[in-house]
Structure 1
Amino acid sequence: MKRLAVSLTFFLVLSVGVGLAVSGPELMDWGVAGGLFALAVAGEGFRFWIRRSRAKKRDSTGV
């Protein structure tokens, strides 16, 4: 759980930084920042799903 929190915090800071960098003279480009963070959350969810499905396959020996 700690790894998830650290990873999402890192990607949140990174996406806000990219949103600020892309926006130019405006304050913030929330569409870019939100989209990047949504991709990070989806990636972490996919990683969790893959790990869980592999663990289920390992537990079920079919006996």
Structure 2
Amino acid sequence: RLNEVLARHSVNIAAQYYETHADVGYVVLDADASATDSQSVLEDIRALDGTIRARLLYEYKI
């Protein structure tokens, strides 16, 4: 479902790391800086069922 959100926003994934511990998993994602509206992408990720927390670590601004 995460990759569907990214594809819908035409986000190019440079690297992706998954890890799980018991019932909780996490993803670290490095996306192309030319992605469209990063806040909109973040909102859609947060809206995914089962998402506990999502945050943007660095937003490249041109």
Q: Normalized against structure 1, the TM-score is what? A: 0.28
Query: When you count strand as a share of all residues, which structure comes out higher?
Result: 2
Higher-Rg member (1/2): 1
Q: Normalized against structure 2, the TM-score is what? A: 0.28
